[in-house]
Amino acid sequence: MPEKTRIEELVNLSESPDKILANLLPILVNLLHCDRCFLYLRDPETKLGKTAFCWCRSQEIPDVTHLQIEKEPVSLPAEDPLFAAALRTEPSIFVEDVETASRDQVNRDFEAKNFGHRALIHAHLCENNQLWGILQPCVFGQPRHWSDFDRELIDQVVKLITPVAITYVKSEIRGSL
């Protein structure tokens, strides 16, 4: 898969983790034909995190970058079933339509208020049963069928970038304390 090769080359460059992760998002938006992709990174020990990276296809799509490191609300796993699944280090979740998804899987009101997307991938960056980050490509305005290609690409990207994300968290989030 040539797309995987491009991503592998990016990850294998001797660039800093922040450059690798920032450069990855526009590639994913183009490969997945989605509207936005963001990366939430967190320290599983302190539960501190931030939406460190976001790339939007157009200016009409809200940029959710939030560079301030913040403590995750204690209520978040109860409010957001997708986040709760990520904390349990479950496999990535592909939501084709937020409006028709099971309430056990998606809190429609939470997604609408905080993100505004219609379809999304909730990709979990986990190691040793700990959640280090969430990669979230998404589509606005209409449902989206996530193809086998999309699923395979996300699985490969998660494997490639999890070590990079962990390095970033240890230096930029944990290291800032």
Q: pLDDT tens for residues 5-54?
A: 677 777 776 689 999 999 999 999 999 999 999 999 999 999 999 999 99
Any idea what DSSP says for residue 136? E
Topology annotation, domain 2-176: Beta-Lactamase (3.30.450)
Q: With 90 as the cut, is the pLDDT of residue 175 above it? A: no
Integer Cα distance of 31 and 149 in angstroms? 10
What is the pTM assigned to this prediction?
0.93
β-strand pairing of 66-71 with 93-95 = unpaired
What are 77-135's pLDDT values in tens digits? 999 999 999 999 999 999 999 999 999 999 999 998 888 999 999 999 999 999 999 99
pLDDT band at residue 177, thresholds of 50, 70 and 90? Answer: low
For the chain, percent of residues with pLDDT exceeding 70: 95
What pLDDT is recorded for position 7?
A: 75
Question: What value, to the nearest 5°, has the Cα angle with vertex 95 and ends 89 and 98?
Answer: 120
Integer Cα distance of 155 and 50 in angstroms? 22
Helix (H) or strand (E) holding 8: helix 2-12
